[in-house]
Chain A
Amino acid sequence: QVQLQESGPGLVKPSETLSLTCTVSGGSISSYYWNWIRQPPGKGLEWIGYIYYTGSTNYNPSLKSRVTISVDTSKNQFSLKLTSLTAADTAVYYCARSQWEPSWNWFDPWGQGTLVTVSS
């Protein structure tokens, strides 16, 4: 079955850029939508945005000015960049798949998540 794995630095300085990659194994990245979701410690979930394997994107307006999601189909990976970081961006970042239909945006499966701490 499809598995997702996040990778990237666990500590980033304020004002810098966060870069994370999600590697998809056990299936192709084609024909699905791929998402980033985050969860501050002890808090709820926030959808960041998605990318279709063709490269089209949809971002949460609350983060849109700072977010870029990209896809590399040759590596079966997609990536997140988040700029101008502050302590409020400290969170566990998850990647997750939604379905092939553009309106079927429930999330399954999820990666295990990676904690990113913004601190000097």
Chain B
Amino acid sequence: EIVLTQSPGTLSLSPGERATLSCRASQSVSSSYLAWYQQKPGQAPRLLIYGASSRATVIPDRFSGSGSGTDFTLTISRLEPEDFAVYYCQQYGSSPFTFGPGTKVDIK
């Protein structure tokens, strides 16, 4: 099973700042089969990125994903008030599909 580690656990930033979230895998994720999700309190996760760098439908271009192998990054170029949430990475390169523990982005 591929174990995903996310850092930092919490990121405290102000609106307008840039957020950089890291996801590291215990072994290489085949074909960059990595996704990112945003979850707000009381809501289901929402897909942001798949294939490490492809934005899902209607996701604004301030969200971008990069990386390959074992190291992946989600970048939010300029934080909007609605972006403060928990972000999870998920690998689907091998079963069982696994999620990282999440990074909380909160308001500084």
Binding site for B on A (CB under 8 A): 44-47, 58, 60-62, 94, 96, 98, 103-113
Provide 14 A-B residue pairs closer than 8 Å at the C-beta atoms, listed in order of the A residue: A44-B100, A45-B45, A46-B99, A47-B97, A47-B98, A58-B95, A61-B96, A96-B44, A103-B92, A106-B50, A106-B51, A107-B47, A109-B47, A110-B46
Question: What's the tally of chain B residues with a CB closer than 8 Å to chain A?
Answer: 24
Total A-B Cβ pairs within 8 A: 54
Q: In the docked arrangement, what's the CA distance between A94 and B95, Å?
A: 18
Contact B99 A47 (CB under 8 A): yes
- Residues of A within 8 Å of B25, CB to CB, are none
Q: Is the interface of A mostly helix, strand, loop or mixed?
A: loop
Q: In the docked arrangement, what's the CA distance between A58 and B95, Å?
A: 8
Q: Which of B56, B88, B92, B102 contacts A104 (CB 8 A)?
A: B92
> Which residue of chain B lies nearest to A64 when distances are taken between CB atoms in the complex?
B96
> Which residue of chain B lies nearest to A112 when distances are taken between CB atoms in the complex?
B44
Which of B37, B97, B101: most chain A CB closer than 10 A?
B97
Interface residues of B in 76-108 (CB under 8 A from A): 88, 90, 92, 95-102
Contact B44 A45 (CB under 8 A): no
Contact A105 B97 (CB under 8 A): yes
Contact B47 A44 (CB under 8 A): no
Q: In the docked arrangement, what's the CA distance between A45 and B35, Å?
A: 13
Q: In the docked arrangement, what's the CA distance between A109 and B46, Å?
A: 8
Q: Which of B31, B33, B47, B101 contacts A108 (CB 8 A)?
A: B47
- Residues of B within 8 Å of A61, CB to CB, are 1, 96
> A44 with B101: in contact, given A105-B92, A106-B47, A112-B44 (CB under 8 Å)?
yes
